[in-house]
Each structure stands twice: as structure tokens, then as C-alpha cells.
Structure 1
Amino acid sequence: MATTFERSTNFGLQVGGNSGRIEAHFHPAAERPETPPSPSCVLPFRRDPDFVNRGTLLDQIREKSTAPASRIALVGLGGVGKSQLAIEHCYRTAERSPETWVFWVHASNAARLEQGFRDIANRVKLAGRKDPQADVFKLAHDWLRDEKKGKWLLVLDNADEAAVLSPVTQFLPPSRHGAVIVTSRTERATSCLVEIGDVIPVKSMRKADAHALLARKLGSEIEQDGMAELAAALEHMPLALVQAAAYIKKRAPRCSVRQYLDEFRRNDDTKTSLLDYEAGSLRRDREAKNSIIITWQISFDHVRDVRESAANLLSLMSFFDRQGIPEFLLHSYEERHVGQRSVESSQESREREVSKRAFEDDIVMLQEFSFISLTKTADAFEMHSLVQLATRRWLGSQGQLEQWKQRYITNLCAEFPPGRYENWATCQALFPHATAVVEQRPRNKECLQKWALLLYNAAWFAWQRGSAGEAEIMCVLSMEVRKGLFGEEHIETLDSIAMVGLVKKMKGRWKEAEVRVMETSSRVLGDEHPSTLTSMNNLAFTLQGQGHYNKAIPLLEKCCRLQRQVLGPDHPNTRSSLKALQAWKVGEQTPSDY
């Protein structure tokens, strides 16, 4: 006996008595045809009433996305506003073209990507979508390629992993009636879908746009004194601006823009604390962090997991001044001075080539994540200071801050020369990085010696070029460290003390310390030691500056006599001292360059 049941209301089969074979065939009812929905724009985010049009970016997005079968990518740092641009473009597209379907898919991982395509299937009521075995990607693909379904725009948001995006590219047909926009932190992740010429870099906002965004987020009730300065301090980064505005508004009137700015500038700790503030945002994905520091640190983790050497390079670069980071200081001492060796083995040559290629690959990865950028000279790099701060914070959380700080100090100390005239070009190029080292005191004793030497040489250069304020900060730090390490009568300590005297003289401040420096140098090193002669010369000039000619002239005469013996009559120091002595004796005022 064979029985066929085709109605969906048949849930079972009962047989009274049977001695033969029974076959039952159940056929599920076919899906009822559904009324095709009308095109719509359904986004997971509300439109931002405070949106600021950023130059020509939206025009570029519109122009590229209206081309047949367009695929474009918005690429930039986390928090730079890529998703906000895509959201605004979607709403404008819906306004201009109500007959266009607008889809938004979260592409941060495979599960969310699949769910996004399942949502598309439900939106357009695809037949077969309810089958547990259905391939929603294939179903969506067939719908998207059908021109009869009308125009569509698909946004793949936060597509930062090539491994997630690549498998679904086959299901995104290059349809004349469709456009795909990808937002990502790295160009590499989008390369499986988007041509390099269709990548739109998204960078920090222009000054005027940043000011406008901050003003709108603060509202008219907040005193806006210092707003331009705050926008600049936050490097015109949209997420940081929104964070700051939310922080200020929540605490107003007890917190103003000026107070926030003062707190932000206090030190790295307070700056990091403010940037860690999690300001809720209605236009950021639920998995995305609203703190710009945490947002970037997630990217740091990814770089480290994919290419550890690139993360190491980023770690080192985070300590330099943000501009003009020289490539040669990013290599080890051996790599920097390989050309000075007369003989190089074939093995060493191969290793050097491998190291060079690896370095270039590291640079490419950091550029792709927008962590660094090239300068016009191509042998130096730039970074956002906030990215540097976030990197150092990340290193601290990993217990690696001190390690990379010491590497930075060691590399810079090895290349920063004494501040003599013949070294000025090198000193000038490296001085901003030496200034940055002031805040990076190391714990290790050996590295502390290098830190003191670096500060001393940098102070020497600053004094030579007349920057008394910078010179004083550096030489006083150097002096204090050397006193603690070596004692007051060590030659390196005396050098630093003498430098302090030179700087104080430049600033018109004389103290008995200069007498002690000369006396100590004479006792420890002898009258003919160059350091003693420098101290003697400094003290003579200080006495003359105070009008004590009866003490200054005999001391400078002694200094000139010893300089002729030790340095020679034609040495610049000897000639300078003799010229000053002649001027003093005839009662002339000493020129300021003595």
C-alpha cells in the first residue's frame, strides 16, 4: 500500500492492521509567493544631524559609486570617520534615488557578514531563504545580478580582514545597476574587491571642518573659548573630537573647553585618561570602541599578530618627534654602519638584503594601516602624535614600554654628535627628537648614562644657537643624572655643570656655582685640561658681565696663556678669548657672540 500526503496539515499516519508494506510520502507545501517589497534604505544608524561635509570627499564617493559596476573603498585610521561618510552617502542616495535599494552589512567577521547577507535575503524576500540548508550568499548573488530588481547600493562596513572579505567576493557580481562601498582600516584587506585606483583615502579633517564638528557637538550653550586649540591638539580626528565634546558636555558647567585643554596638555597620563573616555555613539557599530585609544590598540594587536616586526617598528617610532623620523635611526647600529666595514661576507650580504626587504614590508604594512606616512624626502616618516601616544600606552599594557624606550635612546645617542659648529647640520636634523627624549627618562643605569650624554650634546647645540630655555632644561637634567651616577668631581659631571654655567650666563643669571666648577675642574683635571679652560673662560665672561673687570681681565689673561699652550694660537677658542681680552682692556663692550 502506498499513500501520498501533500497537505501541510498531515502530521502523522495511523494504520489499524496491515500484513503488507506501507509507504508514506510526505511533501512539504511549496512556499507561498510573497509580494515583492519596494526599494528602501534601512540602515542600522540614524542620520547624524551634526554631520560636517568634508571638502570633496562625498563628491568623490558619489562620482565613483555612480559609475557602472562600481566598487570603491574608504580607507583610513580607525576613528577618522569612514563609516560616517558612508552613512551620509547612503541617506543622500536614498533622497536622490528612492528607487535604489540600500543595504548595510557589518563585515568585521565571518558570522556578522553572513548575518548581513541573511538580512538582505529577508529584506527582499528571497524565495528559499527559510530553508536551513540555503546558501544565502548564492541567493543574494542571484538577486543582485538581476537588473530587473532595480538599482542597489551595498556597504560592507569595517572590512578589516582580507580572510573574511575574500571568500564572499565571488557573490558580489559586477552589475551595471549596483555599487559596492567598503570601509576598512587597510587597503590590503580591500584589494580582493577594489582596484587601487578606486580607493579613497580618508584622513584627518581639515581645520575648518574640525572646528565646525566640535562646535556642533558642543552646542551653543557651551563656552567655546579655546575650541580651535583643542581641535588642533586632537589632530582634527573626528572620533577624538566627538569624545572630547561628549566629555565636556556631560560635565558642564564645571568643565569648559579651556579646562579640558589644560588638562589634556598636562602630561601623557592625563591625556591618555581623557582619550580613553568611552563616549556613547549612535553611529558606531556595537562592536566598535568609542575610545580612540582603544580603537587604535585593537589595530596594533592585529599588526602584531600578522607581522610582529612591523609592530616592533611602530613601537620604536612612537618615541620620536612625530615629524621627520629618519629611516637610518630605525635600524640597528650594525645595519646603520654596514658601509663602514671594508669586508662583508656573502652571508652577511644576503642577510642584509633579507633585512632590507623585511623593513620595506614593515613600512608598507604600517602605511596601509595609516599609522605612518612618508615625507617628501622618502627617507623620513611622519606619525600622528595621538597614534604615538596610543602606541606607548599599548606598550605599557604589554610590559614593553621600557624596552623600546631604551632602544630609542640608544639609537639616538649613538648618532647625535657634540654641538660643535661642524656638526650643526646633523644636530639640527635630530634636535626635535632629542627634545622628545626629555620626557623619556629610562630606568636602566647604563641607558641612563646614554640619556645624560644625549641631553648634554643636545643642550650644547641649543646653547650654540641661542636657545637658552631648551638648553637649560636639558643640561640641568644631564647634570643631575651625572651627579647621581658619578659624583660631582667626575669629568662628565663637570662638563654638564659647565654647560649649566654657560646657559645661565646667556640668560644673565650668575651664581657661585661657576667658581666651584672652575675650582673643581682645576683640582681634579688640572689647569691645562680643556674642560678647566672652558670653565675658566666662562667664569671670566660672567665676571665681566657683572662689571668686575679687575677680576675678569686677570682670569682671562691666564686663560689665554693656557689656551695658547694647550690649544695653540690659531684655535678658535684661543682667538676668541684674545679678541675679548683686547676689547676689555680698552674698555669696549664685548660683542654678544663671544
Structure 2
Amino acid sequence: MSSETSPSPTFWLPRSISSFQPWSLIYQLFQPEMRPKSRQDFTVAIVCALSLEADAVEALFDETYDRLGRYYGKQQGDANAYLNGRIGNHDVVLCYLSGMGKVSAASAASSLQISYTGIELALVVGICGGAPSQSNHQEIFLGDAIISDSVIAYDIGWQYPGGGVKDTLGRPNREIRTLLNSLKADNTLSELRNQMQGYLETLQQKGTRWRHPQIDDILFQASYLHKHHAPASDIQCACSESDVPEEICDNALEETCDDLGCGKGQVIRCRGFVEAAKASAYIRTVASADTVMKSGQHRDALVREENIIGFEMEGAGVWDNISCIIIKGVCDYADSHKNKLWQDYAAATGASAAKAFLEYWPRKKEDTRKTVHFMVPFARNQRLVGRQDEIDRLEELISTPGGPKKIAITGLGGVGKTQVALELAYRMQDREDECSIFWIPCTSYGAVEQACMAIAQTIGIQGVNPAEVKEHLKAHFSQRDGKWLLIFDNADDMDMWMKGSKTSSALKDFLPCNNNGHTIFTTRNRKVAVRMSSSNEIHVPEFNKETGVEFLGKLLMQKNRLRDDSYAVSALLQQLTFLPLAVSQAAAYINENGIKLSDYLLLLQEQEADVVELLSEDFGDDGRYKEIQNPVIKTWLTSFYQIQKLDGLAFEYLSLMACLDPRNSIPESFLPRPASKKKMTEALGLLKAYSFIAIQPGNGSITLHRLVHLATRAWMKNEKQYVFYITKAADQLNEAFPGNDHTNRQLLPRIPAPRPLPTE
């Protein structure tokens, strides 16, 4: 080209004019400014259990904003992994499950709600088993997509004749129901199927794994099992002589029908891959369970009874937490004849159907109201029982004009103070549309600062360091126009609140004051409660018998255990002092080991060392902090250290009383007398503030909580202090009640003997 010749202008043209989407280019050009500013701006979630399901969904993203939370992050305690992006007009968060099944899905959905509080719709997308024959003579083939308009949960009992428990989970919300009904119309459904096919073809152009597997689509008789069919003596496998799906060996499940020689005479439908038409989509009821449906006979029974089109394993878990729709591709016929070669293709059709569905889901307009935040680390406790009086009273205090601005929830460790505060938070969210709610765990200075930094980021306070953030939050909430509720959970450490440390001021100095706001404290230490909230205290007691039985029933997997042995139920609850945490721990052990209530009761009557070991067994609890030990014996360790730090005399009293038999009251005269009555009063007051002891108003005798008694002894033994204190207790008995003192002789029968000393 000559230097004197001007170059001709160069224009870029797409290969296909129909594929040119200028709005997409514009969106990408300004993506940093147009993508959601925070997690709260995402309204649609897609949940996938398998990596191949998530791969198919991600391949249909129009844009990717963030991977694994590097930009948007997630709430403390959220174990989920996320991918953020755009599908069509919707900003979407893709949530990866840790595994298959309802439990994994429910846990992930709970965490999803914590980190992404604006989610209005969840799509459970992936692969499933299909119901091949329908009552309306329609046929579902492998690779077709199913969309749920309702969900039925069924348990593993459906794998056995006469067994099974069904639970219709109800209908989606009104907006979802209206859309699904409109999509069932012939013309609209045909349009949806065409859009789905278009996205499927786009996906298949990106990778060959998403294409039809090019094998025949075979349906066997419902009663015909995928198993070894040769005589057992030939192949050393008992499944060849069994007609029970659960007895099919693992080797058979890994082999193809051709390898096993599944009989062609048992085939009732075969569609060759040459004649395979476009994938279709169907909208109707979907069944969800925690186990794979692998019985054609039970499949057909459910289909006839409930008009079901598919079987899957995650929808029911998400359904309990978020309004959701199940959209999945059919990879098998919910029988024992499963072929993994169909899974990628089915994942592709499921993802394509989900993207097509989102074309009809309206994008929400920006809300012009004041921004409302809800930052609570736990999902709503669906197993909460009782506590109605306490929660009603809290709501009354908060809603009363001119009422108290600071309220404390007190009670023994493990009694359920956090659960009361949690239910209050969700009720306030339901009732007060414009009230922001923030939760601050006070298990350590670090936990407080981490929560405060997260709150600051959420409400738009940027560029502050942890040392300054509490002062900024105090100023913000003191001046805020809208309503707010701050919940300080586990506010037990007196020094943290009243004195502070070398590196941090006392937390009381950072509490905001505003007529529009309220502050709730949960604490084991009633002295903290009085200092922080004056007399505005709600005390949470242990359960009564009726509530204890109801709570235990909600926790047990086998509900018939309550009916089978009512005596064991009552005796067990009494042994556990009706303490919710102890009951939860017992139920977890019973469920995990498949034992009867009477068996657990016998374990509680073993030697003390065995009982301590039993009550030290860890167990999972989604409603408690991961850094806090759940077992009832260990839950009071923090309290022991706090008492030891605050008042050495109080700790000495606790240790001495733990050396005596807890079945009897302890006269105050047994305790060593300090130099002043004031010190003794304060020491006993601290133990009473933690609900460890009760003092009888008449004679002043003291009772020590039975489980606290056991936990204290375990702590002393672990700290090698047992010999010292039991020796001192014996000396104190002799000094306070000498055998030749006729005045005190009448007290002797009521003085409990020191407990026997276990081997250290």
C-alpha cells in the first residue's frame, strides 16, 4: 500500500445477521457499571447438585460477573460456592450443592438466603428420572425436560410394598402459579419448546458432550430389573435370584443392559436414535425424595396416583426455604435400567429449558422504597416449639410507642435464647416491611468486628478499618431515619461489654441510640442483662413436659418411638432436665444409632464417666455457630472460664457444690465464709445470674442444676482439680457440721455426702 493512499475503512460484520445482537455488545461494554452492585440485587438463583448440571447452566450464561465469590463474597457461615452472571435479562446466582439429596439442598438453600437476601425465585436445574407413560397418553422420552407446577415429597418407604410417606408440599406462590398455568397453553408451550430447542442447539455448538448420545432409547417392563440374569452359581452374585431393587449388586449397576444381557423380550418401547425427534418439555407434578427411584413398579404406582412426570432428589429441600421450580432433563426412566451416557444430554436439555423459562419470568423493576436489609446468619427454625409467650412479649415491647429500646433475653446455656431471638427476627421481617435487621455474634471480639465490617459494607460505609467500624455504625444507626433492629447474640462476657480490652473499647460505648431502633441482647449472664437493659428482661426457662415431648417428636426420625414407650419419653426428658440443647443432642444420637429411647435412658444411668462421654458427643446443628461446641457438657466451658475470671470465690463455690450429691439441697452454711458478707452475696449472685443455681426463698438452701453439676465435675477432672476440691469439700463438711455438734445434728441427714471420686 502506498503511503499516499488512504486506507479504506474496515467494517466488522457478523457471519450471520440473525445472530447479531447489538444490545448484548452494549451490555458487555458497560458491564462493570451495569452489573449488580451487591448480592442483594440478585433475585434469581439456580441450584445444581452435580458438576455436569452446573456446567450446562454456566455454558448458557450470557455473561459471567464473578466466580466463587471473589467480587460479591458471601455471608459468614455460608459454606456454599457461587457463580454470578446474566442469563437474558436476569442477573442470576448459580449455587453449587455439596452433594445430592434433600438434606444437602435444604442446607444450601438456607445459606443461600443468608447471603442473597433478595432471591425471589430458585430454579432447581439438572437431571432426573422420567415417568414414560402419562394418563393423557403423552409419552416422555429420554432427553425431554420436565417443569414442576407442584412437588410431592416421598420417602424411601415407597421402595417397598405398602410403605412410604407422601407429603404434598403445597403450591408455588401466586405469581409462579399464574405463569406456569399460562405456559401450559398449547401455543405458549409450543413456543417454549422451540426456544428450548434453540438454546440446546447453541449449547451443542459449544461442546459435543451436550449432543444426543446416539444410542437407542429403550424402555423395559416395569417389573423387569437391571441385574445379573445368569444363575448365581455361575457368577457368584445373589442378585441374579432376587427381585428386590435394593439387592441389585454394585457391579450390575455399573454395567450396561447389553453387558448384563437384559432381555429384548422385556422391551415395551424402543426409539432408535435415527428417529429421535426434538426434545420436548412437560409441566406437571414432580416427586422428590432423598433416594434414587429404581423400581419401575413403584414408579408407575406413584404416576397413577399422583399424575407425576418425573422423580428427583433436591427440589423438596429447596422448596422448604425458597419459592422454587424444578426444571430437569430426563436421563432415565426411574427404574433400575440407568445409562450414564444420557446424563450430559439430559443436563443440556434441562439447562436449555431453564433459560427458555426465564424468558417468561419478568425482570423486577427497581424498588423506589428505602433499602431494607436483613442480615441474619441462620435460616428460620422450622422445628421451633413453645416460646410463644416470650416471643409475643418481645414483639409487644418493641411495638409499644415509647417502650424500651434495649431488651435482654436471658436463660441457661442451651435453653434456646438464640432460637427465640431468631424467630423474633423473622417475625419482624414478616411484619415490618421497612425495618432493617442485623445480627451480631458476640462469641469473641473478632466475631463482633467481622460482623460489623459486613454490616458496614452492606449499608454502604466503605473504606473503614476494623478498629473504626463500630464508631461508624454507631453514628449511622443513631442518625438513621428508618426502623432497625440490632441483635447481639451470646453477649455473655462482662469484660467485653463493660471494660473492653487493651486493643478495643467496651462494646457498650458503641451502642447507637435512636427512637426508631431497638437492640436485643441474648445472654447467659443476667448481670450483663441488667447492666445493658436495666429491668427489660425476658427470661427463657427450660421446657415443660408437654413442650418437651413435642420438641422431641419433631427431632426424632422415627415418630413412633414416642408412642411406643411413653414412660421412657417422660423419664428421658426429666433426666435431661427438659433442656432443649440436651434433648437435641439425645435425639441426634438416637437417630444416628437407631436405638430406642429406653436404650438412651439406660446409657444416662451408666457410670458418671460414661455419661460424661455420652453428653460430650458432638452433633450437627444448623442453628448454632460452627466455632461453638454443641455438646451439652461442653457448652458451659466458656461460662466456667468467665466465672473463674470474674469471681474466684464464685468458682470455688461452684466447684465445691459439684462435689456433693445434686439430689439434695445444699445449706448455705456449707460454703466457706469470706471476709465480708458482700463477697459471698456477689459470688452466689453470679452463679444465680448464669442460672447455674437456685436459692430457696425460705431457708436459703441452694440447688445446683443437675447437668451443670455433671459438667462442672467433668471440667474439674479435665483440669486436674477434682482431687483438690473433693478433699476440700470433705474438710468443709467436717468443719461446718462436726459430728459432736448437737445443734447441727438435725441437719446431718440432709447434708449430701461427697460424690465418689472417679479415677483420674
Match of 2:429 in 1: 94
Residues 1:90 and 1:418: Cα distance change in structure 2 (over 3 Å): same
Alpha-carbon distance, 1:212 to partner: 1.3
Match of 1:182 in 2: 521
Deviations 1:412-454, CA, capped at 9 Å, x for gaps: 3556687999987434433xx14xx4x51599xxxxxxxxxxx
Question: Map of 1:160-559 to 2, 5 A cutoff?
Answer: 160-166=492-498, 167-195=506-534, 197-221=535-559, 223-224=561-562, 225=565, 226-252=568-594, 255-322=595-662, 323-331=664-672, 354-377=675-698, 379-413=700-734, 425-430=746-751, 433-434=752-753, 437=754, 439-440=755-756
Alpha-carbon distance, 1:189 to partner: 2.8
Q: If the length of structure 1 is used for normalisation, what is the TM-score?
A: 0.59
Deviations 1:190-240, CA, capped at 9 Å, x for gaps: 444311x11222232222212211111113445232112111100011111
**In structure 1, what is the Cα distance between the partners aligned to 2:466 and 2:609?**
53
Alpha-carbon distance, 1:107 to partner: 1.6
Q: Secondary structure at the match of 2:522?
A: strand
Question: Map of 1:71-82 to 2, 5 A cutoff?
Answer: 71-82=406-417
Match of 1:44 in 2: 377
Checking the alignment, whether the CA contact within 8 Å between 2:449 and 2:466 is kept in structure 1 is no
Residues 1:366 and 1:134: Cα distance change in structure 2 (over 3 Å): closer
Deviations 1:489-509, CA, capped at 9 Å, x for gaps: xxxxxxxxxxxxxxxxxxxxx
Structure 2 residue corresponding to 1:141, chosen from 474, 478, 482: 474
**In structure 2, what is the Cα distance between the partners aligned to 1:64 and 1:136?**
29
Q: Secondary structure at the match of 1:440?
A: coil
**In structure 1, what is the Cα distance between the partners aligned to 2:429 and 2:537?**
23
Checking the alignment, whether the CA contact within 8 Å between 2:490 and 2:521 is kept in structure 1 is yes
Residue type at the aligned position of 1:440: P
Match of 2:345 in 1: none
Alpha-carbon distance, 1:243 to partner: 0.5
1:116 aligns with 2:432: no
Residues 1:140 and 1:326: Cα distance change in structure 2 (over 3 Å): same
Q: Secondary structure at the match of 2:747?
A: helix
Checking the alignment, whether the CA contact within 8 Å between 1:318 and 1:392 is kept in structure 2 is yes
- Structure 1: which 5+ residue stretches go unaligned? 1-33, 336-351, 444-594
Match of 1:478 in 2: none
**In structure 1, what is the Cα distance between the partners aligned to 2:531 and 2:740?**
52
**In structure 1, what is the Cα distance between the partners aligned to 2:738 and 2:722?**
26
**In structure 1, what is the Cα distance between the partners aligned to 2:620 and 2:758?**
37
Checking the alignment, whether the CA contact within 8 Å between 2:492 and 2:523 is kept in structure 1 is yes
Q: If the length of structure 2 is used for normalisation, what is the TM-score?
A: 0.47
Residue type at the aligned position of 2:571: E
Checking the alignment, whether the CA contact within 8 Å between 1:417 and 1:426 is kept in structure 2 is no
Residues 1:134 and 1:238: Cα distance change in structure 2 (over 3 Å): closer
Residues 1:178 and 1:413: Cα distance change in structure 2 (over 3 Å): same
Checking the alignment, whether the CA contact within 8 Å between 1:107 and 1:158 is kept in structure 2 is yes
Alpha-carbon distance, 1:133 to partner: 8.7
Match of 2:441 in 1: 106
Between stretches 243-252 and 395-404, larger displacement belongs to 395-404
**In structure 2, what is the Cα distance between the partners aligned to 1:425 and 1:54?**
43
Residue type at the aligned position of 1:213: F
Match of 1:83 in 2: 418
Residue type at the aligned position of 2:630: N
The structure with more helix, counted as a fraction of residues:
1
Checking the alignment, whether the CA contact within 8 Å between 1:78 and 1:296 is kept in structure 2 is yes
Residues 1:141 and 1:423: Cα distance change in structure 2 (over 3 Å): closer
Q: Secondary structure at the match of 2:374?
A: coil
Checking the alignment, whether the CA contact within 8 Å between 1:52 and 1:213 is kept in structure 2 is yes
Residues 1:169 and 1:260: Cα distance change in structure 2 (over 3 Å): same
Task: Give RMSD over aligned pairs.
Answer: 2.9
**In structure 2, what is the Cα distance between the partners aligned to 1:440 and 1:256?**
30
1:125 aligns with 2:460: yes
Q: Which has the larger radius of gyration?
A: 1
Equivalent residues, number:
380
**In structure 2, what is the Cα distance between the partners aligned to 1:194 and 1:102?**
19
- Structure 2: which 5+ residue stretches go unaligned? 1-366, 499-505
Checking the alignment, whether the CA contact within 8 Å between 2:737 and 2:745 is kept in structure 1 is no
Alpha-carbon distance, 1:117 to partner: 1.9
Residues 1:425 and 1:91: Cα distance change in structure 2 (over 3 Å): same
Q: Secondary structure at the match of 1:319?
A: coil
Alpha-carbon distance, 1:292 to partner: 1.3
**In structure 2, what is the Cα distance between the partners aligned to 1:365 and 1:289?**
23
Checking the alignment, whether the CA contact within 8 Å between 2:491 and 2:521 is kept in structure 1 is yes
**In structure 2, what is the Cα distance between the partners aligned to 1:58 and 1:385?**
27
Residues 1:420 and 1:279: Cα distance change in structure 2 (over 3 Å): same
**In structure 1, what is the Cα distance between the partners aligned to 2:387 and 2:510?**
32
Deviations 1:139-160, CA, capped at 9 Å, x for gaps: 3223212352x11111001111
The structure with more strand, counted as a fraction of residues:
2
Residues 1:133 and 1:247: Cα distance change in structure 2 (over 3 Å): closer
Checking the alignment, whether the CA contact within 8 Å between 1:276 and 1:292 is kept in structure 2 is yes
Residue type at the aligned position of 1:176: N
Match of 2:110 in 1: none
Q: Secondary structure at the match of 1:59?
A: helix
Match of 1:157 in 2: 489
Between stretches 303-312 and 417-426, larger displacement belongs to 417-426
Residues 1:429 and 1:134: Cα distance change in structure 2 (over 3 Å): closer
